[in-house]
Amino acid sequence: MKLKLMISLFALNTTVSYAQTEKPNQQKGEPFEGIDQTWHNGSDRRESSVFKDMKYFTPSILIDVNYTHSFNNPNDNTVVGSTALARNNEVQLSALHFGGDFTYKNARARFMTQFGTRSIVVPRNDYSPYRGQYQLANVYRYLSEAYAGYHINKWYGINIDAGMFMSYIGLNSYYQPENWEYQASFTSDNTPWFFNGVRIQIHPTKNLKIEPWIINGWQSYGKFNKMPGIGGNVTWMPNSNLKVLTNNYLGKDAAGIPSRKRFHSDNSLLVRYYNNPSSTGITKAAFSLTADVGYEKGGGVNGFKNNDSTKGPAQYFASAMFYNRIWFAKNKMAWTVGGGMMTNPGRYLVLYPTGQASPLPNPNNPTQTEGAFPFSANPGDKFKGWDISTNLDFMPNQSLTFRVELVTRHSTIPYFAGKGGVTSQTGYSTTPLDPAWRPDLVKDETRVLLAVLFRL
């Protein structure tokens, strides 16, 4: 019997409940079968697919268009410190993804392209392309995920995949139509969106997934040092109202410092505490809570311990975010409120401000200010940030979302784009720089954004 794999097996932490399958020989059933995941933060909210009856290939199309206004009014319209936004006061195609899932017998593959501003703003803090030859960032830039693998009919299914796949560390999905909020909190925006390597998805029971990884590194196209990154995910969904997951990672991701190790633990709880689909008012309500902790140790930094003259200053990551979402008007409307905080001494996971993105020249984003005003990320350099956001969604059908969102973000150091921008005194990269000019970074930012999110 030819296997029709569930659409959702392409996503690291997402198994879509609408997939219709035949149960193959020697497999007990489908993972998370009968569990409603359409309300999850970071999951596909659709209840059915227009492509579900196709035999060998299931297409997927996502479009994300945004408009945002920062009340700082930077003169170059550049957004700083975000992987979701790129330009102020302009309608932008943030992302166009198309691709899909191939299945033939037990062979499986998936690819998704990515075009738009996200192909530029996401691959940052990645020095791995500087190791050796070839422009790896350009090779992979227009792919969000691409992998091939094999499905084993054991227990509730085992998948072995190799290539580039989504990480889902930080709970949020890389694909905006799956998220409750548009501008991700620091916890998600400063953790990886993708991995290159091998993963194994093991479903020993209907409600449990265990997923080991062997990968090149932390959101890196290549490998920083000799050691690959290792880690994995465990997801447990006992019923349709509860999801618990943990992601853990260990690697050596400091370029040229092979003695420095990084550990990161990401943990999320999702609870649907009210569900009344027949109500004419509120139909359901849920919250998501995510807490991350990690550190780097060795090579001049000392994890959580500070003021050690021999091992160096503390260098760690601690963050949390909480969101509450209420659906109403027969699930066609939803209101979300939440936010989070982050502390990251050493700034090893902080997104570098655009225009001074790294202490090294970056061939993937050439401007006259690139590398000229490096953002300090020395061992022990302090960074703390917090954010609050609220939004209102109108969802006329399962494939379309209109969103309006208000978000305010704050940091303990100048970080966000101020009125003077980060490009030049006029805001144009063609303007000769005044020798006294510097990027205008400020500690606070409040913005409103509009988004149209489509998924088919």
Domains of the chain, first to last: 7-455 (2.40.160.10)
Q: Beta strand 107-113 with 91-104: parallel, antiparallel or unpaired?
A: antiparallel
pLDDT in tens, 398-417: 999 999 999 999 999 999 99
Give the single-character DSSP code of 115.
Answer: B
pLDDT in tens, 269-288: 999 999 999 999 999 999 99
Arithmetic mean of pLDDT, 77-95: 94
Whole-number pLDDT of residue 168: 85
Give the mean pLDDT of the chain.
88
Place of tokens 């973000």: 409
pLDDT in tens, 168-212: 889 999 999 999 999 999 999 999 999 999 999 999 999 999 999
262 — pLDDT class (breaks 50, 70, 90): very high
13 — pLDDT class (breaks 50, 70, 90): very low
CA distances from 103 to 5, 13, 203, 216, 277 (A): 7, 20, 19, 26, 34
> How far is it, in rounded angstroms, from Cα 233 to Cα 19?
22
Query: Regarding predicted confidence, which is higher, 143 or 123?
Result: 143
Model-level pTM? 0.89
Type and span of the H or E element at 293:
strand 282-298
Query: Regarding predicted confidence, which is higher, 227 or 48?
Result: 227
* The pLDDT of residue 7 is above 80: no
2 — pLDDT class (breaks 50, 70, 90): very low
- 205-208 contact pairs (CB < 8 A, 24+): 205/155, 205/156, 206/28, 206/29, 206/30, 206/31, 206/32, 206/33, 206/156, 207/32, 207/35, 207/236, 207/237, 207/238, 208/234, 208/235, 208/236
Arithmetic mean of pLDDT, 295-319: 88
pLDDT in tens, 317-368: 999 999 999 999 999 999 999 999 999 999 999 988 865 444 444 444 446 6
**Could you give the residue ranges of the DSSP H alpha helices within 210-319?**
none
Whole-number pLDDT of residue 123: 73
pLDDT in tens, 210-226: 999 999 999 989 898 88
Place of tokens 């027949």: 278
308 — pLDDT class (breaks 50, 70, 90): low
pLDDT in tens, 46-75: 987 788 778 899 999 999 999 999 999 999
Would you call 2 exposed, middle or buried from its count of C-beta atoms within 10 A (0-12, 13-18, 19+)? exposed
